[in-house]
Amino acid sequence: MRKISLLFTTFLLVSCYQQERNCADFRTGKFKFEHEIDGQTKVTYFERKDSLEIENYEGKIDSSHVRWINDCEYVLHKINPKNRHERKGVHIKILTTHENTYTFEFNMVGDTNKQKGKVEKIE
């Protein structure tokens, strides 16, 4: 009986825990996103001003329109897409926030293959 009580108490405590999600803190600002491609760490810097995001990746600058679905989800659409693939939007969902970072998942709109990442707010 004691084990069942301990198990129930543990379950109750874990189920009450909520991840921090202060998504509004990340609606605007300057950010850094580190990711790995073919074993090499790549860095993308971007600035978001509510409905506009300007990205700098390896010296190439690109702009996207941001359409907020709610405080923690938005869709990016490139302003000047160069091909059919770039015309598709990217759905981004902020999963957790902590101080100056957030973890997120993203996928191309219509695609079920989701990836995860972590972004740091630098300004």
pTM to 2 decimal places = 0.80
pLDDT tens per residue across span 61-80: 999 999 999 999 999 999 99
**pLDDT-derived band at 86, boundaries 50, 70, 90:** confident
Half-sphere exposure of 40 (CA within 13 A, CB side): 4
CATH architecture designation of domain 20-121? Beta Barrel (2.40)
Average pLDDT for the chain: 87
